[in-house]
Amino acid sequence: MHEVVTISVSQRANHLNTQFFNIQEGYLKLSKEEQVNDSKIFLNPTIDKVSKTISYTPRTLFWDARTGNGSLGTFQYSETQDYLFGNEEVFKDQTAIKTHPKIPKSEYQNALDAGIQLPTLTKENTKYWSDYSKLIYGPSSFNMLKDWYHDVANPNQPDFQNLGERRFNKYSIGYDEFAENYSQEFFDGNFHTELEKCDTLQGLNIVTDVESGWGGFSSALLLELRNELPKKTIFSWGYNEDDPFTNELSMKRVTKKWLPILSTKLRSTMNIMQESDLYFPLHASTELTNWKIAGKTCKVLDSINATISQSNLEQRKTMDHITTSVTLGDSSRNMVTEMVIGNNDYSFCSRIVPLKNSHKHNGHHIFSSCLINREDEKHQNDPNYGSRGKPSEMFTHRYFPSDTIPAEFSHDCEFSLKLSSSEKNRDVFKHWNEFVTRYFKYDEDREELKNQLCDRASAYESGWYDDEDSGDDDM
């Protein structure tokens, strides 16, 4: 058994984590003959010898702001009297200080607890990831920022002390927050608790946002994580919203409001890539809620994880195998350029405006690509199944979307996911290098960032380029 632990950092990342583990919960309902995956890789089984039953808890760690868990309490499903609500008689002689209004349990959770028909999920009843979470998480899964509060109106940027004056919106804020307040406590506490539940840890998934303080927070966490587990494989997943470089006007749209956002995004991405074996830059549309974004992008996350956890041992691949298929052993090219299913590319990189001297007209050079085929079990009767195709072609079972996935993203269950590494990434790093050159006038890390960005851009170059690079013809 080669377990994988998932760490999700931010409200949006927790929505994706929830969707993924809801799918894992669905696998448990399949009969023995129908089983398509090894549930113990992502779920920790606990055997009750008295009742002769097995219960499963996700191998995961959530990071969120205060009240970001919604109505879900850390010890909600454990025997405890730590909560006032529901234990008023116990605390009747004590003074209770109310720090924030009670968050009511969602209709979906009430229906799950009562075992009755589940309500239809909408953007109105999925504001918190816990509103539609199906599995019961262990107390060690929950980690919370002490001084930052969740804001329902702006869920991806917590509010300091709930005062509405300071946001968790910069790389430095997030980095310092973890390094100074949580590093030792997290690794000595909840993280080691999760590791102790694993027999042979294969690696980790880290899911985060890169345009807020969560990007800096994840960078600091990853730095310590790599020191803690230097030989384990780490896949990082970063949510990116559109910015000036995804628009044809490019650098001309870089107004003052974009400076801290782009600064945080590029610093987070560079440092997360540095400590990861493979980095998946997911695109997050601002037109969709976190519930819908998670339901859409879960196809990619689940496809990667289904490949490494499927019950068919002849087809199962390791995280290292997938890493090599994309990077071909070159760790400087560890950012996935394309994540294509059908006509949809889930990668943020594909949205970047090409540089004027880009090879876009002749097509970007592809350094490597691999394909993950998800087909129905009936195809496994084919004697050539799993052996046909190229070495970079992998096979796994079809997609089993949970009923918590929005309907528009759950209808196609048989598809192929194409992962590629191409010259397109050069455009990303060149744009960022120009941004740093223009706007980082007094930053201490200016020259270091420029060198790192140039090195990354060079790693994604093929053929000859003009010496002068610019994202716009007229500046």
Predicted confidence at residue 362, as pLDDT, reads: 59
Predicted confidence at residue 227, as pLDDT, reads: 96
Give buried/exposed letters for 372-403 (b at 16+ CB in 10 A, else e).
bbbbeeeeeeeeebbeeeeebbbbbbbbbbbe
Helix axis angle for 213-228 and 171-181, nearest 10°, is 40
Taking the C-alpha atoms of residue 263 and residue 268, their distance in angstroms, rounded to an integer, is: 8
Domain ranges of the chain: 3-72+123-426
Containing 341, the helix (H) or strand (E) segment is: strand 338-341
Global pTM value: 0.91
Predicted confidence at residue 473, as pLDDT, reads: 38
pLDDT in tens, 117-141: 999 999 999 999 999 999 999 999 9
Q: Do 22 and 404 touch, CB atoms closer than 8 A?
A: yes
Rounded to the nearest integer, the mean pLDDT of the chain is 89
Predicted confidence at residue 80, as pLDDT, reads: 46
Taking the C-alpha atoms of residue 295 and residue 408, their distance in angstroms, rounded to an integer, is: 9
Classify domain 3-72+123-426 at the CATH topology level. Answer: Rossmann fold (3.40.50)
pLDDT in tens, 393-445: 999 999 999 999 999 999 899 999 999 999 999 999 999 999 999 999 999 99
Predicted confidence at residue 101, as pLDDT, reads: 73
Taking the C-alpha atoms of residue 274 and residue 216, their distance in angstroms, rounded to an integer, is: 13
Q: How far is CA 31 from CA 21, 28, 36, 113, in A?
A: 18, 8, 10, 23
Taking the C-alpha atoms of residue 47 and residue 53, their distance in angstroms, rounded to an integer, is: 6
Predicted confidence at residue 94, as pLDDT, reads: 63
Q: Which two tokens stand for residue 9?
A: 């950092």
* pLDDT less than 50: residues of the chain: 78-83, 378-389, 470-475
